[in-house]
Amino acid sequence: MIQTGEKAPDFTLPATGGNALGALGNLITEDGMLRFSDALPHPVVLYFYPKDNTPGCTTEALDFSRLAGEFAAAGVVVIGMSKDSLKKHENFCAKHDLGIYLASDDGGETCEAYGAWAEKSMYGKTFWGIVRSTILIGKDGIVAQVWPKVKVKGHAEEVLDAARALA
């Protein structure tokens, strides 16, 4: 997992904006790409989640969306990321009226660069998957805080408090 004080790896990925246009403007280019470097000089919340439309991932996306106006008012960009396809992200955003960006890292390079792709275990079986984690990145592109194993309940509020302290 990436550490506090490290430079956040840049990325350019296909993304959907849901209703994430808000006060910060649309960061998705005409060709449907979101460039991390375009989000700077705003603080960025980058959260990794396993899969669209699963209970925990839906709750987390809804929590960040519910607070999207407060993140935007603080000048903070929120980007969710998984290995789901752009089409799945678009459907997820539409179904739940999400107010955040969702980036599709179907190749997994960005998840790996941030350390969110790791070996996991469940019911005695090991497998590789996305570790639910959140990275708060300052305006300078330096990691300000890392939540390596997120419990969804109350997490978006905790991240908002930390993001406000940066802004």
Q: Which residues are catalytic?
A: 57
Bridging pattern class, strands 133-137 and 44-48: antiparallel
Neighbours of 10 (CB within 10 A): 12
Q: What's the helix, strand, coil split of the chain in %, to 5? A: 30, 30, 40
CA distance 58 to 37: 27
User: What φ, ψ does residue 126 adopt, rounded to 5°?
Assistant: -105, 145
